[in-house]
Amino acid sequence: MIAIQILPRTDRGYKMNLSRNKYKLITMKNILIISFTFLVLLLTGIRCTKYPIDEDGLLITGRAECYVSNFELLNIDFQTVRSTSAVIDTIAQTIDVEVYWGTNLKKLWPQFSLVTDAKLDPKITDWVDFSNLTNPKQWTVISGNRKVKKTYTVNITVQAKP
């Protein structure tokens, strides 16, 4: 048996409004849930995207350039000891530096400027002893894609005393 309740006009309108509002709420709720789920999935997707990182935590990029663009040599007071500009030969992979007469070569800090994304090996973490002029120090430049390696030799000469 089906009981039909006939409501007054006003009540019917009220119930209809309620249903409509409820429908709106459900629709809004669904939209929010879907949006939130989509956002979570998107973030998860982003998070899971693997960018190549090397052993130093540096980004491996597509750059294959591999050279030293500038070189500086500082004393323990962080003053330059170069008497002239360093000559960088990217073909011969040499850096020729003349230092002032009287420079203490035992404790110097070399500074390399490298092409974008490249890195230096070994890293410079302390003062470097350049006093053995017959055995010049060497550093290897590694390109951004970590596939090209070029070893530079730093040749130090001391300004001649007249």
Partner 1 sequence: MLAIILFVSSCQEQEYSLPEANTHFQNDVIKRSIGPNVVGLNIEFVYAMALGLENGNILSAQVEASIPGAAGTFLEHRSYYTGPGGNDVGIDVANPSTTSGPVTEVVFTRDTCAAALRYYYIIPEEARGKSVSFTFSAEASTGETVSFKMGPYNIGKVEIKRDITLNDNDLRYFSIADMQVYDSTDAAAIPDKIDLVYLYRSISGINFNHALVAPGADPEFLPDIILPGGVDNPTKIRQTWQLRDEHLARLQYHIYIDDLDFEEIDLSSSSDYAINLRAESGAWVETADGNYRAFVYVNSVSNSGKTMKISVKRYTMN
Per CB under 8 A, 125 contacts partner 1: no
Q: How far apart are CA 39 and CA 45, in angstroms?
A: 10
Per CB under 8 A, 121 contacts partner 1: no
Per CB under 8 A, 124 contacts partner 1: no
Per CB under 8 A, 126 contacts partner 1: no
Q: Which range binds partner 1 by CB under 8 A, 11-19, 72-80, 112-120, 144-152?
A: 72-80
Q: Report CA torsion sign: 156, 119, 122, 77.
A: positive
The Cα-based distances of 42 to 30, 33, 37, 51, 132 in angstroms read: 18, 14, 8, 17, 58
Return the residue matching tokens 């007469």.
Answer: 101
- Burial per residue of 5-17, b for 16 or more beta-carbon CB atoms within 10 angstroms, e otherwise: eeeeeeeeeeeee
Show the site string, 23-42: x = touches partner 1 by CB under 8 A, - = not.
Answer: --------------------
Judged by CB under 8 A, which of 70, 92, 101, 116 binds partner 1?
101
Per CB under 8 A, 104 contacts partner 1: yes
Per CB under 8 A, 159 contacts partner 1: yes
Judged by CB under 8 A, which of 27, 116, 129, 157 binds partner 1?
129
Using alpha carbons only, give the angle 92, 97, 101 rounded to the nearest 5 degrees.
155
Per CB under 8 A, 45 contacts partner 1: no
Q: How far apart are CA 20 and CA 90, in angstroms?
A: 76
List interacting residues with partner 1 (CB under 8 A): 76-77, 79, 100-102, 104, 106-107, 127, 129, 159-162
